[in-house]
């Protein structure tokens, strides 16, 4: 059965109980991912992007973490109500994950080949021989030369880029329908990053896997994704197609982000834009818009009430009071002079 909406997250709230109190990491995130779609979750550290992704696989440690509210539907099944046994069927099989740090997410005491075939042997009743054959195919696909020799080696014998390829091979060996990539290239050099991004792009086209890419690098997003969700303080502040976000952004935080990246065509004399201040405290998140304290256009209502989503076009939504019909025109007409 092919469902158009592969993943549907509704009003997700996730918190962690710590000695300091309750950290409200995710505060009402809703979005959908279609079959074969490439979606980016963009935000700074602590914005809740990784927690959201890990909720999909129930990888957040519980306790201290706990789901306060919300549902996650994958292929029509509610993941939030699923037990650990059910989750183990989904993890790796239907949803694959690539972690940020390839250097520490492989087991250093196991041969790479064993780590790749582990899932096949334990879940799918593959014989050793068939599993090895399948692993060779995967290693070849992710561009590892000499795969028969590599299969028998340990992770320390691989470079960073190679380890990340192995991680991708592990994530894709069951041909999952959704691949979650949590900062897959952050710890890699640019030339290796380009190789990995090309690889992910090709794989997506061949296998029609949907990808959720979590990153703070807007360059990587522009390179790979079709739709972007901008997350700030545990909430989505702007969602839209890639062109909406890069050329018709409406949220002041998105403006700030776009202005603060040094660009290759940046004029030297011009000062780099920046967002003053720091992200909100998630122990006591602000009542209104999470960005209000750093926003130069903030109005009184921004501090008091949470902004609703204002639709701009189909698929482009912005949570900002500036888009309310009663907002002052002067602030509304402000756009990105730089672009």
Of 165-204, binders to other proteins (CB under 8 A) are 189-195, 197-198
Residue 335 touches other proteins, criterion: CB under 8 A = no
Q: How far is the CB of 54 from other proteins (least distance, A)?
A: 19
- Give the neighbor-by-neighbor strand order of the sheet with 65-74: 21-34, 5-18, 65-74, 77-78
Q: Residue from 266, 304, 311, 335 that binds other proteins (CB under 8 A)?
A: 266
Answer yes or no: are the C-beta atoms of 22 and 15 closer than 8 Å: yes
CA 322 to chain centre: 27
Of 209-228, binders to other proteins (CB under 8 A) are 216-223
Which C-beta is closer to other proteins: that of 79 or that of 224? 224
Residue 305 touches other proteins, criterion: CB under 8 A = no
Identify which range of 12-20, 63-71, 103-111, 250-258 contacts other proteins by CB under 8 A: 250-258
Q: How far is the CB of 203 from other proteins (least distance, A)?
A: 15
Residue 256 touches other proteins, criterion: CB under 8 A = yes
Answer yes or no: are the C-beta atoms of 48 and 29 closer than 8 Å: yes
Q: What does the H/E/C string look like for 233-283?
A: CCEEEEEEEHHHHHHCCCCHHHHHHHHHCCCCCCCCCCCCCCCCCCCCCCC
227-232/210-215 β-pairing = unpaired
Cα–Cα nearest to 185, from 202, 172, 167, 204: 167
Residue 149 touches other proteins, criterion: CB under 8 A = no
Q: Residue from 102, 161, 280, 307 that binds other proteins (CB under 8 A)?
A: 161
Q: At what angle do helices 160-172 and 112-123 cross, to 10 degrees?
A: 10
> 3-class DSSP state for residue 303?
helix
Q: At what angle do helices 128-141 and 112-123 cross, to 10 degrees?
A: 130
Neighbours of 23 (CB within 10 A): 20
Which C-beta is closer to other proteins: that of 90 or that of 236? 236
Residue 264 touches other proteins, criterion: CB under 8 A = yes
Q: Which residue is listed with tokens 């897959």?
A: 184
Residue 260 touches other proteins, criterion: CB under 8 A = yes
Q: How far is the CB of 5 from other proteins (least distance, A)?
A: 24
Which C-beta is closer to other proteins: that of 267 or that of 333? 267
Report how many residues bind other proteins under the rule CB under 8 A: 45
Residue 246 touches other proteins, criterion: CB under 8 A = yes
Which C-beta is closer to other proteins: that of 191 or that of 206? 191
Backbone angles phi, psi at 72, to 5 degrees: -125, 115
Which C-beta is closer to other proteins: that of 36 or that of 160? 160
Residue 271 touches other proteins, criterion: CB under 8 A = yes
Which C-beta is closer to other proteins: that of 109 or that of 191? 191
Q: How far is the CB of 226 from other proteins (least distance, A)?
A: 9
Q: Distances from the Cα of 239 to the Cαs of 3, 34, 309, in angstroms?
A: 22, 15, 10
Which C-beta is closer to other proteins: that of 109 or that of 267? 267
Binding site residues, other proteins, CB under 8 A = 44-45, 159-162, 189-195, 197-198, 216-223, 242-243, 246-247, 256-264, 266, 268, 271-276, 278
């Amino acid at each position: 059965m092919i469902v158009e909406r592969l993943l549907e997250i509704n009003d997700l709230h996730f918190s962690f109980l710590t000695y300091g109190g309750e950290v409200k990491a995710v505060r009402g995130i809703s979005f959908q991912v279609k079959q074969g779609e490439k979606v980016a979750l963009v935000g700074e550290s602590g914005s809740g992007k990784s927690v959201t992704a890990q909720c999909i696989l129930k990888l957040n440690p519980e306790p201290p973490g706990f789901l306060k509210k919300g549902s996650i539907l994958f292929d029509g099944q509610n993941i939030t109500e699923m037990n650990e046994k059910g989750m183990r069927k989904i993890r790796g099989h239907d949803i694959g994950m690539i972690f940020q740090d390839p250097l520490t997410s492989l087991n250093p005491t196991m041969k790479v080949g064993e780590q790749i075939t582990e899932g096949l042997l334990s879940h799918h009743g593959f014989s050793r021989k068939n599993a090895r054959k399948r692993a060779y195919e995967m290693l070849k696909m992710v561009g590892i030369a000499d795969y028969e020799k590599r299969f028998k080696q340990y992770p320390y014998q691989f470079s960073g880029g190679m380890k990340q390829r192995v991680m991708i091979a592990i994530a894709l060996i069951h041909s999952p329908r959704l691949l979650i990539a949590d900062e897959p290239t952050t710890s890699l050099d640019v030339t290796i990053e380009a190789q990995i991004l090309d690889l992910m792009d090709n794989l997506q086209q061949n296998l029609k896997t949907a990808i959720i890419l979590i990153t703070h690098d807007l360059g990587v997003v522009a390179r790979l994704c079709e739709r972007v969700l901008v997350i700030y303080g545990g909430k989505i502040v702007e969602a839209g197609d890639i062109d909406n976000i890069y050329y018709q952004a409406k949220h002041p935080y998105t403006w700030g982000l776009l202005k603060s990246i040094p660009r290759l065509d940046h004029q030297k004399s011009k000062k780099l834009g920046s967002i003053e201040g720091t992200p909100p405290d998630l122990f006591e998140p602000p009542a209104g818009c999470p960005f209000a304290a750093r926003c130069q256009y903030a109005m009184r209502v921004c501090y008091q009430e949470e902004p609703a989503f204002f639709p701009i076009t189909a698929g482009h939504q912005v949570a900002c009071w500036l888009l309310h019909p009663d907002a002052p025109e002067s602030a509304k007409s402000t756009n990105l002079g730089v672009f």
